[in-house]
Structure 1
């Protein structure tokens, strides 16, 4: 476009010279050539004026130190601050973010993507984002990043008030009778443990029986009675919902849930156990292994997103997408959460983002700023030169017409 605009200006200059020579050689053609000469002469003036105006935005015309030229390089820092202020006032204030998100159904859009993530344009977007994330993940020091992750996990675990949380979970489980399958499973495991260690139990009873019981064989009958009674008791507790022992167990679990929530001594004991567990070397080794497995799985997933979205995981994601796309109540919940989150981000980090933009532009050298802005809007600026050449020519021809009539 710059070559085209410059070529048009040179064409007007060449035409002006040729027409002036032609007017000298053929004076009889002067009435007709006068319009053409006026057009080309004014077109040159208009083209040169707009060339100067466009060039003065980005550099010194012909390298001359003319005042108020090279406007963008000279005012680079002020432009950076203006861009940052514009971004803050129009995009990153909580009020603006809330207003712009008010009519946007983010949940429905996310649901459409999750329900059909293999559409061409979305596949390219996902592949690009996955590749970028994988490159960033691999460029980071695994040990340092793992240490940060583990330190963050430990910090979060240490902040959790575990006793009330466990107490509430246990109380809710008892209220909804979700503890019954667990209780039945524990009782079965106890029965299996007794059965697996039956010879040892019999031997213990034989050793503790006196000589008369062993001589008469009562110790064997006692062992059989103890084992049979234990098996029968466990079976009755498992089968009978109203068994007295089950009621005692429920009562004991209820007291434990209440102590976890309200007893300071119990809460202190749980916190001590939690602290010992977090500081245990076995916990550190487990966190190391968990982090490495998670990192490898994440890398495999982002390097091959199509494979990661296949199978049951892909089906689950598609079901989630369908639910987001169809369930109005779920959409309202997700959209409300997204709005609150983004408004909070704008409120807390808006000034940091604005400062990042401003400092980044200020660090660019003047040529970089000029080249980037000219690359973004340069085509339209060259149209200004073209229009200036043509409009200038038309204005010149109009002035020539008025001059001849007057």
Structure 2
């Protein structure tokens, strides 16, 4: 556009020179000369005005030229003040937010699977992936395992266990555990019958072994044990079952109220935490968890899809249709943005001002000229044509008078 405006000025100069040579041939050439002459004046005047905004015309330091680079800091302060007074005052923010249904707009975004679900899912996956892959695995694992170990050490385990056992007994959920333990005991004995019989044979005296009573004794012991376990399993008020329940109630009470029992539980807990086997278990837990997280974030469509997408869409539909929820969300958004404008408005505009001030004059000039320079060259073109028309009009009026 600069080349076009300059070429138009050169064309007007060439026409003017040519018309001066032939204006005596016909009166019409005088009108053309007047148009070209005034167009040159208008084009040159607008060229000077446009150039003076950004630099000194022809490099000559004429006063009140190179306006933008010479007044860069004042422009930065004026821009910051304009932003603060017209956009970042609490009244303006509240008024604009009052006319905006932010909740419905957010709901429309979230309800669209092509935008809300996919962007949130992919964005969250990308963020987590960047974090996991940028951090050192050993260092991150040490932090995670250390944090878990510290939390376990802080837990007062005995009262917690006592309350869990007491709640299970109160709800009757302990019976399933007791019955499962009885069945497992029977299965364990059945699986180890040969070993139990061998132990009885070895401990029987010679007379019992010689008469074969040791075998009958072993069978009697096993049969009696099976019968006891079966009766305990099927009889609700069996003495063994009752004793087990009483033992659990006593254990639950002691875990909560007995300092000696609590100390024993804490000692066992610390021994487990200090055991190398527990450290290896933590290492394996961390590696499996990290591998699973990386698998999820590298394949967000599969691992983070499904229920995640349905939940996002459901939230979007609720924000679109529920007027009560919209009022709550809009009120929260309005108060939040008003609070941001009140607390940080001055810092935001100061950031704008300081950023522009840090730019060198050439950077400011190039950016502003790049943004509006095309329109300014149209001003030169328009000035050339308008000047020509004014000159043509004046020449016509001069001839008429």
Q: 2:371 aligns with which of 368, 380, 389?
A: 380
Q: CA deviation at 1:14?
A: 1.1
Q: Which residue of 2 aligns with 1:42?
A: 42
Structure-1 residue corresponding to 2:15 = 19
Q: TM-score, normalised by structure 2?
A: 0.62
For 1:337-356, what aligned pairs fall within 5 Å after superposition? none
Q: CA deviation at 1:388?
A: 2.7
Residues in 2 aligned to 1:254 and 1:324: alpha-carbon distance in whole angstroms: 46
Q: Distance in 2 between matches of 1:63 and 1:155?
A: 71
Distance 2:295 2:102 in 1: 37
Specify whether residues 284 and 228 from structure 1 end up closer, same or farther in structure 2 by C-alpha distance, changes over 3 A only. closer
SS class of match (1:103): helix
Distance 1:265 1:81 in 2: 69
**Does the aligned pair in 1 maintain the 2:52–2:66 contact within 8 Å?**
no
Are the equivalent residues in 1 in contact too, given 2:20–2:33 (CA < 8 A)?
Answer: no
Aligned-pair CA distance for 1:223: 0.9
Given that residues 5 and 381 in structure 2 are in contact (C-alpha distance below 8 angstroms), is that contact kept between their aligned partners in structure 1?
no
Q: CA RMSD in A?
A: 5.6
Aligned to 1:191: 186
CA contact (8 A) 2:50 2:376 kept: yes
SS of the residue 2:144 aligns to? helix
- The answer to whether the aligner puts 1:142 opposite 2:157 as a matched pair is no
SS in 1 for 2:277: helix
> Matches of 1:80 and 1:278 in 2, distance apart?
62
Question: How far apart in 2 are the matches of 1:141 and 1:318?
Answer: 31
Q: By how many angstroms is 1:172 displaced?
A: 5.1
Alignment check: 8 A CA contact 2:159 2:256 kept: yes
Q: 1:302 to 1:231 in 2, by over 3 A?
A: same
Change (3 A) 1:75 1:198: farther
Counterpart Cα distance in 1 of 2:83 and 2:274: 46
Residue of structure 1 aligned with 2:363, choices 348, 358, 370: 370
Q: Paired residue for 1:235?
A: 233
Supply the distance in 2 between the matched residues of 1:34 and 1:72 (Cα, whole angstroms). Answer: 39
Alpha-carbon shift at residue 20 of structure 1 (Å): 2.4
C-alpha deviation, 1:22, in angstroms: 3.2
Deviation at 1:18, TM superposition (A): 1.8
Q: Show CA shifts across 1:123-158 (max 9, x none).
A: 688668756754554343222222223233333444
Is contact 2:168–2:174 with CA below 8 Å preserved after alignment?
yes
8 Å CA contact retained: 1:112, 1:322: yes
- May I ask how many residue pairs the two structures share in their alignment? 367
Q: Does the CA-based 8 Å contact 2:117-2:313 persist in structure 1?
A: no
SS of match in other structure, 1:384: helix
Q: Could you say which residue in structure 2 is the equivalent of 1:70? A: 69
Q: Distance in 2 between matches of 1:279 and 1:81?
A: 60
Separation of aligned partners in 2, 1:254 and 1:369: 84
Residue pairs, 1:325-344, within 5 angstroms: none
Supply the distance in 2 between the matched residues of 1:77 and 1:265 (Cα, whole angstroms).
Answer: 73
Aligned residues of 1:260 and 1:266 also touching (Cα < 8 A): yes
- CA deviations 1:180-203 (Å, max 9, x no partner) are 544433332222122223344455
CA distance in 2, matches of 1:64, 1:188: 104
Q: Does the CA-based 8 Å contact 1:164-1:260 persist in structure 2?
A: yes
CA distance in 2, matches of 1:198, 1:320: 55
8 Å CA contact 1:202, 1:223 repeated in 2: no
CA distance in 1, matches of 2:297, 2:258: 47
Write the deviation string for residues 346-402 of structure 1: whole angstroms up to 9, x where unpaired.
99xx98xx89x969x96x98469938x966x76532233134324544664576578
Against the structure 1 CA distance between its residues 302 and 20, is the aligned structure 2 distance closer, same or farther, given a 3 Å change threshold? same
Where do 5+ consecutive residues of structure 1 fail to align?
A: 114-118
Tell me the SS of whatever aligns to 1:70. Answer: helix
SS of the residue corresponding to residue 235 of structure 1 reads helix
What is the CA deviation profile of residues 82-125 of structure 1, one whole-angstrom value per residue up to 9, with x for unaligned ones?
Answer: 99999x9689xxx99x9999726868855654xxxxx5997688
SS in 1 for 2:288: helix
Distance 1:316 1:257 in 2: 40
Q: CA distance change for structure 1 residues 167 and 224 in 2, over 3 Å: closer, same or farther?
A: closer
